[in-house]
């Protein structure tokens, strides 16, 4: 069954351009049906991404009447079934979701690396501070071992200090 909707009449060049732009905008939207106004009726079309297109210009010269020119623009396609359109939209949604998940995963990986690096830096700082504290404690213990109970300046392992201590007795 073929159903045809048509409307004939005279319109200005500006109105013709406006109608062409409206049809172009509907086709360019890409998703969902294209709505085209024909006369006082709106027709819902289901064009695919690729259309068969034809542009024809006819010029007629007549002896007794005025010359005429005609421009025909014709697009032809097999309508996309709602199931096909829905499948295509679901595939596009799935691809967008995958891209978003990849972006989020990359951001989480970067955040995890930054946190590990910060933890490692903090641990290195603590180990460095602990090593410096142990070194200072060892040096303090060695100095304490060198001193005698009587004098903080004397070191029992120093031979000169030992001789002086023996001489005092």
pLDDT above 80: residue 165: no
The pLDDT of residue 92: 77
Q: Looking at beta carbons, which pairs linking 117-124 to residues 24 or more positions away fall under 8 Å?
A: none
Burial of 159 (0-12, 13-18, 19+ CB in 10 A): exposed
pLDDT averaged over every residue in the chain: 80
Q: What is the predicted pLDDT for the residue at 80? A: 80
Band the pLDDT of 85: cuts 50, 70, 90: low
Return all residues near 38 (Cβ < 8 A) that are at least 6 apart: 5, 6, 7
- The predicted-structure confidence for 133-159, as pLDDT tens digits, reads as follows 666 656 555 555 555 555 555 555 655
Task: Give the pLDDT band (50/70/90) at residue 71.
Answer: very high
Per-residue model confidence as pLDDT tens digits over 1-12: 678 888 899 999
The CA distance from 69 to 155, in Å, is: 121
155 vs 116 pLDDT, higher one: 116
């Amino acid at each position: 069954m073929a159903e045809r909707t048509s409307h004939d009449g005279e319109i200005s060049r500006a109105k013709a351009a406006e109608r062409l732009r409206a049809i172009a905008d509907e086709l360019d939207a890409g998703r969902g049906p294209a709505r085209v106004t024909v006369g006082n009726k709106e027709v819902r079309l289901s064009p695919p991404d690729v259309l068969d297109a034809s542009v024809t210009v006819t010029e007629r010269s007549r002896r007794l009447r005025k010359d005429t020119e005609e421009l025909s623009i014709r697009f032809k396609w097999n309508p996309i079934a709602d199931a096909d359109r829905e499948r295509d939209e679901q595939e596009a949604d799935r691809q967008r979701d995958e891209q978003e998940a990849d972006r989020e995963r990359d951001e989480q990986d970067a955040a995890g690396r930054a946190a590990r690096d910060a933890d490692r830096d903090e641990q290195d700082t603590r180990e460095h501070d602990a090593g410096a504290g142990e070194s200072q404690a060892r040096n303090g213990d060695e100095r304490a071992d060198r001193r005698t109970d009587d004098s903080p300046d004397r070191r029992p392992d120093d031979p000169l200090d030992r001789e002086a201590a023996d001489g005092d007795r």
